[in-house]
Amino acid sequence: MLNLKGTGVALVTPMNSDYSIDFQGLENLINHVSEAGADYLVVLGTTGESATLTKEEKKEVLKASIRYNSGKLPIVYGLGGNNTNAVLEEIKTTDFSGIDAILSVCPYYNKPSQAGIIAHYKMIADNSPVPVILYNVPGRTVTNMSADTTLTLAKHPNIIAMKEASGNLEQCMNIAAGMPEDFLLISGDDMLTTAMKAIGASGVISVLANAYPKLFKSICDDDINVSKNAVFKLLQLNPLMYEESNPVGLKYLLKLLGICDDHVRMPLVEASESLKARIEALKL
């Protein structure tokens, strides 16, 4: 059975100075997180700048990630959107060899009702050859998936988990209280991982685990006191990862750690000098 408990890393997509894919940087990154004990890899989520990669580039990044995955960690692939028919077409044309599950974001921009969200995900789950992880991130999509919506979808046999990034702990508690025994609640907010663990979450799909996978192993796997103290180490650094939008700050941090360069694609631009200085001062 697929085990997606613990630390999932929402991988960045390293880029060269000409904004082409830096495959050596990607290999460095996968080796870095794998050797530190990451439990699974998330390829081409939001942190991977999937919105500005072409279809061909996405295929190349996925194939390379599978090839570099020498530790044979489970691979979750970002496959979602706000056009249900287009998502279904992408499912039809994707080679799922080496993909263990998909992470599918709540439809953004068109602001569907809760009934529309349920219909969208049921269509995806009915057609996906691998299990589906829901992804609620209203800070990006505008629309929040309610706890009732999540619990309704959790009954679908091909929907196995929810990555919850609403920041609403009461909503997360309602999901945890009502979800099936084999359904996974996954933190989508690095700083709330310990709190969500305390209410029944199984782990995190993390941004900062790109840089600090060992620390996130402690956050996910150790007892609550050790876990919270590990989170506290990141309290000042974490907001800088989002100040100029994810993954701008993270890529600069990875550059400082010697893992990959910090190039991002427009409309994102590289970190300002002010942000760089503060990240450098706070890096662990």
Is 163 tagged catalytic?
Answer: yes
Among candidate residues 33, 6, 18, the one with its CA nearest the CA of residue 250: 33
CB contact at 8 A, 219 and 38: no
Rounded Cα distance between 191 and 238, Å, is: 8
Q: How far apart are CA 109 and CA 41, in angstroms?
A: 27
160 known member of a binding site: no
H-run or E-run covering 7: strand 6-10
Surface-to-core class of residue 181, CB atoms within 10 Å of its CB (0-12 exposed, 13-18 middle, 19+ buried): exposed
Which alpha helices (H) appear in 128-192, and where do they start and end? 138-141, 147-153, 169-178
Q: Would the annotation count 141 as a binding residue?
A: no
The Cα 53–Cα 32 span in angstroms is 23
Which of 68, 77, 163, 212 does the annotation list as catalytic? 163
Nearest alpha carbon to residue 104 among 227, 215, 205: 205
Q: Which of 40, 68, 121, 135 is catalytic?
A: 135
List, by residue number, the catalytic residues. Answer: 135, 163
Residues contributing to the annotated binding site for pyruvate:
47, 205
Residues contributing to the annotated binding site:
47, 205
